[in-house]
Structures are given as C-alpha cells and as structure tokens.
Structure 1
C-alpha cells in the first residue's frame, strides 16, 4: 500500500472485485518501469504515456 491508499480500502471495501486480475499493485512493482525511464535506454522516449496498470484499464 501507499500513503495515497491509506484508509481508502477501509472506506470503500474490496475494490479488487471489479478488476480483471482481482488484485492491487504495490509501489515496488513500478521499479522496473521507473528504472528504465531514468536509464540511458530511454533517451529516445519523450511525450509517451506508459501505462503500468495490470490490465485494469484494458478493453
């Protein structure tokens, strides 16, 4: 969980039932994406939206 999520789950209940994979992510699951973005490998990346959402917004 994160500071943003503190207390939210108690107020809203189990929100994962509406998610395709029935789970919440953790901040550490963003590590590889963030490391890529700050590495020389991403030098050519600009103005991109990189969705890290565990298929939660997939259509």
Structure 2
C-alpha cells in the first residue's frame, strides 16, 4: 500500500479530531504536575543535584 493511499484512508475528520483532542489534552492535573511547576507553567529548570525538587531547580 502506498504512503499516499495509506494516509488518505485515515483522514482527520471531526470525529477523529475530537478523539485526538481528548486523547492528548484531557489527561488530568496529576499528569501535568509531574513536569509543570506549582502554577502549571512550563519550566526550564536545571537540576544540579539529582535530589533537587522542581521548585529548587
């Protein structure tokens, strides 16, 4: 099956778009708190010691 044919069978219609949105964004606060700071902001923290918390970094 050619690449063009393969992907034309998987068009991102409204139903699939809604499913994709749900799968990627409706994950809950617990998941996002594993890599975001207390204010839910993305961080570029530098961990100089492995035991440092996200807030310390």
Q: For the superposition of Structure 1 and Structure 2, which TM-score range results when normalised by the shorter chain?
A: under 0.3
Higher relative contact order (CA 8 A, sep 6+): 1
Larger radius of gyration: 2
